[in-house]
Structure 1
Amino acid sequence: MPAKRTPARRPTMKDIARRAGVSESAVSFALNGRPGVSETTRARVQRVAEQLGWRPNTAARALSGEGAATVGFVLARPAHTLGVDSFFLQLVSGIQEVLAERHLGLLFQVVEDIGDECAVYRRWWAEHRVDGVLVVDPRAEDPRPGLLNELGLPAVLIGGAPDEGHQGLSTVWADDAGAMASVVDELTALGHRRIVHIAGLRDLAHTRRRIRALRAEAERRGLGEVESVTTDYSDTEAAAVTRRVLDSAAAPTALVYDNDVMAVAGVAAASELGFSVPADLSVVAWEDSALCRIVKPWLSALSRDSVEFGSTAARELLALLDGGPARTVRVPVPRLIERDSTAVVRAG
């Protein structure tokens, strides 16, 4: 009877690093298309990986029955606000583009709150449903990073900031403070001194960063009539808040909305009250989209590549799954596109 053959050991990133004469981190950067290594090193690492027959860990684990070949994405937001939110549609599109290259699935779930989200992570971990997760909407005193570290579940936090202390997780972030400063720069250059920021959910870290940035910019410029009002991101609340602030004795001359849907609803509400945009009121939307170019007038908006934002987050998660270190990656600051909804303050 022939001797039983021992299965061949699959090559690892450590094997590639040893053969190529580089560190494991350099191998991770090279194989995942991330900056940090020269093109010569990248080519050498890729050549050695091909020679050794290396395959990404996620694919190998799926073939051996040890992994799920699936990435998880849980969203704890009011379900009624998601259907028209262009940011999340584009974010998921970018995530899916990268996952498809590795034949990985995306398991998506919407829940009521953070407690439910944490319960989903525990269940997925216990059932080996996912190999890693993408986490959005970081919060103050957020329980999720600690839980994910405890579970040992690889994760990338989308929208965190370097100073928020998410140890063990990779972070992909945008400079909300810089973006808000650019909006205030433009509005004050047009003569606006009464500015209201109609913000998103109160507990989100990026909402708080935008509110702090607006307050800091107002103090720096000596603007006394500037405030932020939080909402649930819906068109209904945006319209209600718009009516309330415009009905005040010292109505604002400029409104900044935290997404495109709220901005469109705000323009409609302002028009109902007899305000003309931009003659009486300037409007800026935080997220640019087709909606901003359908409404009349076209809306000035902060534009960013949300698809690439998602792709970057997915690439960082794949790097973690391949054994790379956690790291922080900054995407470009959203850029203000000036259109027809902003103008010089009317005299008098």
Structure 2
Amino acid sequence: MDRRPTIADVAKRAGVSRSSVSFALNDRPGLAEETKRRILAAAQELGWRPSRPAQALSRGVAGALGLVLARDTAAIGADPFFPAFIAGIESVLARRGDALVLHVTEPADEEATYRRLAADRRVDGVLLTDLRVDDPRPALTRELGLPAVVVGDPGGAGGLCAVGLDDRPAFAAAVRQLAALGHRRIAHVAGPQEFRHARRRRESWELAMREAGLPEGPVLPGGFTAAGGAHATRELLSLAPDRRPTAVIYANDLSATAGLAVAQRLGLTVPGDLSVVGYDDTPLAEYTHPPLASARADALGWGAAAVRALDEVIAKGRADDVALPPAELVRRGSMGPAPGAGAGDTEADAPAPSTTTVRSETPC
């Protein structure tokens, strides 16, 4: 055929009515088994496939989920977290032929975007990422009757189902190991503090420093970007020797990778002069020089889990919060003894493997 086969073509090939074809393809009762087999054989011979939009329309659903990102497009393109997260979403949707409707918008247009999605019934539900302090979106989706799941901690979910993980074990492990390696000045390059997850990572670092009995080192904004991480690192390394950090824990891998490069361009060795730790454990982390220590958060699995939770909300009206396995430190070559630390004062005398995953004992 020179065109895509239709349900009418299947009916003609099988010698039945179109309603009989619909009954057979939707596995509804009322047809003789022989008739059903003939219809299915005709559909296979013609290469007919059901139309997802038509199926969705017949069921009164859109067959799509929504994801609205109120971020600069360049920032999204450079951040390795989102491609992995979206791949996790698609790993569930692609198997059933559903779609992801992705909108990248300005913060000022965010509310209008959700209202259009709800009014046009383009999606069956939405995933809320990058939750902000006092974020209006949980209340907005309730007002619109739009099923939603928060990707993050339940504290700001406004009663919606939240799919999140605990950052604290990874930061505790990083600070604990750096302290054991002789580090006393451990700085933090933070993400934008309007985001709840960036604020939570900073608080996790602060708590870990207190638990290790260390004074809080300097904190500078990095903005989750390479440029921000590079700028913050230059400022940290320009401090007086008695204030300059010997280790830096970054809020994500993108800023950490930039910081590692800046340190090396300034003539410092990593980890000889400066230890560097990132967050997200993106695929690039193990290929930097030296390989970047990072906290593994499994963005791919996070995306898949968020879709399954949203499916439950759409089907049942609610779902319980989902606690994913906590982030865990992956120790690599960018972590080493503090400058001048004696081998007897650190764990450096026991050679560490190039990659070691430190698992938390915190239950999921």
What TM-score does the superposition give when structure 1 sets the normalisation length? 0.79
Within-5 A mapping of 1:24-63: 62-63=56-57
Could you tell me which residue of structure 1 aligns to residue 348 of structure 2?
none
Within-5 A mapping of 1:4-43: none
1:163 aligned residue (152, 155, 158): 155
Q: Does 1:195 align with 2:186?
A: yes
Could you tell me which residue of structure 1 aligns to residue 255 of structure 2?
262
- SS of the residue corresponding to residue 64 of structure 1 reads helix
Superposition RMSD on alpha carbons, in Å? 2.3
- SS of the residue corresponding to residue 171 of structure 2 reads helix
Within-5 A mapping of 1:1-348: 62-64=56-58, 66-113=60-107, 115-159=108-152, 161-167=153-159, 169-249=160-240, 250-347=243-340
Q: For residues 138 and 245 of structure 2, what CA distance do their matches in structure 1 show?
A: 39
Q: Map Cα deviations across residues 152-203 of structure 1 (whole Å, 9 max, x no partner).
A: 10011111x2333521x21100102232222212211212111111121220
In 2, are the aligned partners of 1:218 and 1:224 still within 8 Å (CA)?
Answer: yes
One-letter code aligned to 1:76: A
- SS of the residue corresponding to residue 106 of structure 1 reads strand
Q: For residues 163 and 86 of structure 1, what CA distance do their matches in structure 2 show?
A: 25
Shift of 1:61: 7.1
Shift of 1:95: 0.3
Structure 2 vs 1, CA of residues 319 and 225 (structure 1 numbering), >3 Å: closer, same or farther?
A: closer
- SS of the residue corresponding to residue 82 of structure 1 reads helix
Q: Map Cα deviations across residues 38-91 of structure 1 (whole Å, 9 max, x no partner).
A: xxxxxxxxxxxxxxxxxxxx9997141632111110111222222232211111
Q: For residues 243 and 59 of structure 1, what CA distance do their matches in structure 2 show?
A: 53
Aligned residues: 292
| Contiguous gaps of at least 5 residues in structure 2 | 1-18, 24-51, 342-364
In 1, are the aligned partners of 2:138 and 2:157 still within 8 Å (CA)?
Answer: no
What TM-score does the superposition give when structure 2 sets the normalisation length? 0.75
One-letter code aligned to 2:143: E
In 2, are the aligned partners of 1:195 and 1:254 still within 8 Å (CA)?
Answer: yes
Q: For residues 256 and 220 of structure 1, what CA distance do their matches in structure 2 show?
A: 16
Q: For residues 301 and 264 of structure 1, what CA distance do their matches in structure 2 show?
A: 10
Structure with bigger gyration radius: 2
Q: For residues 287 and 305 of structure 2, what CA distance do their matches in structure 1 show?
A: 29
Shift of 1:320: 1.4
- SS of the residue corresponding to residue 217 of structure 2 reads strand
One-letter code aligned to 2:237: L
Shift of 1:212: 1.4
Could you tell me which residue of structure 1 aligns to residue 41 of structure 2?
none
- Percent identical among aligned pairs is 41
Q: For residues 323 and 292 of structure 1, what CA distance do their matches in structure 2 show?
A: 40
Deviates more, 1:325-334 or 1:214-223: 214-223
| Contiguous gaps of at least 5 residues in structure 1 | 9-57
